[in-house]
Amino acid sequence: MRPLSLPPLLSLPSLLLLVSSLAACSTAGPARAPAAAELVGTWQVDLRPTPDAPPYLQAFVVTGVQGKRFSGSFYGTPISQSQINTDWGAVRIAFVTGDGSGEYHHSAVLSGNRLEGLTHSVGRDFLAYWSATR
């Protein structure tokens, strides 16, 4: 068996330096956990029924974050059964509101300064996409 011979540019010390440099570049510290407190404030929710419909804006107000829960209102209705999940590198939320037709189950993900969400109403038989900005 012939010994491994490296070209002059890739001598063993150069190769070791290159490998350790690449390893240092690829080693990132732990990702910053998303801050659920970023939800606090007033959001303008666009509830248009189709992409080509004119905007239909309503308020989503988050008044506080308490651990894995938050408080506020959506479409003028108090939020109940709220949940926050930050385990997957983003702030994800779910909550319930209601009116005379029944409960509305909402979920959303915070992406930068934008929320992208869904609302499901069993009583009114629909699933709606919505987005919100500050």
∠ CA(51), CA(118), CA(84), 5° rounding? 145
Q: What is the pTM of this model?
A: 0.76
Q: Which residues contact 12 (CB under 8 A, 6 or more apart)?
A: 6
pLDDT at 6 over 90: no
Tokens at 73, concatenated: 């209102």
Query: What integer best gives the mean pLDDT of the chain?
Result: 85
Q: What is the pLDDT of residue 34?
A: 83
Q: What CATH fold (topology level) applies to the domain 36-133?
A: Lipocalin (2.40.128)
Closest Cα partner for 95 from 61, 58, 126?
A: 61
What whole-number distance in Å separates Cα of residue 73 and Cα of residue 125? 22
Q: How far is CA 125 from CA 65, 104, 122, in A?
A: 31, 10, 5
pLDDT given for residue 15 in this prediction:
39
Left (φ > 0), alpha (ψ -120 to 50) or beta: where does 27 sit?
A: beta
Parse the chain into domains and list their residue ranges. 36-133
CB 79 within 8 A of CB 95: yes
pLDDT value for 30: 53
Tell me the C-alpha distance between 5 and 11, whole Å.
Answer: 9
* pLDDT at residue 12 is higher than 50: no
| Residues 18-40: tens digit of each pLDDT | 444 444 444 444 567 689 999 99
